[in-house]
Chains A and B, each alone.
Chain A
Amino acid sequence: MKIVVVDYDMGNVRSILNAFEHIGITPILSRDKDEILKADGVVLPGVGAFAHGMKNLHMYGLVEVLQAYAKRDKPLLGICLGMQMLLEESEEFGVTQGLGIVEGKVVKLPSEDNESEKLPHVSWNEIVSNSVWDHTILQGVSERVDMYFVHSYMAIPKENDTILSTTQYAKSQFCSSLKKGNIYGCQFHPEKSGEIGLKILKNFVTIVKETKDV
């Protein structure tokens, strides 16, 4: 089984590799088109600005590669910015086109004039189910468990049933994880969310195995 973590110079891939290694998987860190297309599972990490992330994906010629990979409905997991880039566009620093793998857009989290609700949203926060978690990356995860978030923007998928979980921040409830076929995204960082985060990565590995065996 081959899991590729996309290497496009955006943020902390070390912790994602460590987390997979901890659960017994050695992923390949790569930006090679063939490696990605031949992978059984792909993880798109990312911390930073949407426009910068897309610029790097374009620079390495990975936009079409990821789109082609996703078109075959092979397991893909976007984390944080990696999830946001799955959508069609973002309003961060002007409108930037995303990968368009999931319909919808990315907008700034509404910030309230309330001292306790600041941006970026850097916090452990609860995920609440919006659709069935069985046979997804959230299988066996308890409702309202805390995951670790660091972000200022939120994804708004067009179809409500792509939203796996929501999370409350300030007065808004945003999409904290999504699923479209075997395409997954989580706004939180499973690699930084303790043992439950590791469980979510294990679930992704299980999905990769099952998809490969079919």
Chain B
Amino acid sequence: MRPLLVIASLVQFAVVAQGFAATHPTLPSLLAATDKDGKPIITQEERTYYDGLNENLKDLFNQVVQKQIVTRPEHLGMLLSLQLRPQKMELLLKNNCVLCHSDSEIQTPEDLFSLSPKTNQTPGHMNLKDLVEDIHFQAGLSCAGCHGGDPAADFGHEFVKQWPEKDRTKNRAWVVEFCARCHSDPALMHQFNAALPTDQLAKFKESPHGVLLLVKHDDRAPTCISCHGVHGIRPAKDPQSKVYAQRVPETCGTCHANPKTMAGFTLADGSPLPTTQLAEFKASVHGRALLERADLGAPACNDCHGNHAALPPGVASVSRSCSICHSTNASLFDGSKHKQAFNEHNWAECSKCHGNHAIAKTSDSMLSTKVGGLCGDCHRQFANDHPQCIDTANHFHDTITSMDQARENFIATSEKLAQRGLDVEPIENQLTEITDTLKKSRTYIHSFSQSTFQQAAAPGQEAVKQTGGLVEKARQEYKSRQVGLAVSIAWIGLLMLAVYLKLRQLEK
């Protein structure tokens, strides 16, 4: 019986194989397929990409066609058009879930991975281009890692239901716990990125966002995917990541700049939570540095407000976060009389004078004690009985504005003198000193003490004096050149006159 069975099964296999070969396309036939006008469906670019692949990948392509996972030339063309690097293409070709879910013939729009989701009416997170760039996908965590199932199986939908089947889109509190299964596991995360913290969930639970989601069960509360995305998650240092420094303001602004989403939320004092932060930030010194000049040292929302927690580490309140960067100003302020006064009034420190989201470039006129000047206005209202403070402010204002004015004048003069061919190097050296002192003096205002300020300003005042002398010396030098020229011209003129007279005498 057994030999018969073997023969029978061999015959059966041969028939099946023959049928397979007869009714199903092969890779070469898909590559060579043409449309009804006779035009090749695989474009020249896609073909060139295929021809450049190594044998292993070509074999993988052959396999997915043989297994009838890819059956249409259009589907094959779409995969080739991604122009992926070999490693990524290998991951993709070994992932039957994605291969099947990227065939528009057999998928409904909501289950289809597309190259241009918006035009195909498929959801935004079903973007194939994003998926292949996803950090999880690249690290080997594919569909099954979250959805369950077996990506190597030829066909299988027996996925483990990892999350609540009912209302899972309305009550999304499970999302954070779901991500945390891996991200809160130090041993696991260490295998992928040893520098990545694993306390995100712990911090999130303490944060206003976390409280809103987990305690108040507000469906507007953000989860991990609100900021990081779903299928196209990239590391924060990737410029295309939603949490890359330059994209953070827009990401936060998705909710915080939307009055509908923010309706009903209030500040500590009970006033409605504003939605103007994004617009204010964009116009501020920080926003312009970050977004226009691409200065990644400038803060985005999270640098003051924290990422997963409410505040950055080691900072007592949001208003103290300025000191992370502006440390000298902060430490001078901490040692000043203003510190105590601000505490008594319960004022936020830096933002009281400089504002928060809309921080504008500071100007020396803020020091003015006249009406409209910051120092003057505040002191008239809250500390009118301290005339010595007005003196100090006046001293700051006058010292800095006069030094600044002198600097401007010297720069203009120096340019003129240089054009006249005079040596301006010593003047330029002094100008550097003045510029440095100005910067330092403006910082030392935050001591709100005349003597401390004067220590910083004194070298600049000396440099102004020195420069004045140097400019005067250069002017004298120029004057002496002109005098020398006049004398020389007079001598040459006399000589010319003598030659002329001699000529006349000779030719008479």
Partners in one complex: no
Residues of chain B touching chain A, judged by Cβ–Cβ distance below 8 Å, are none
Residues of chain A touching chain B, judged by Cβ–Cβ distance below 8 Å, are none
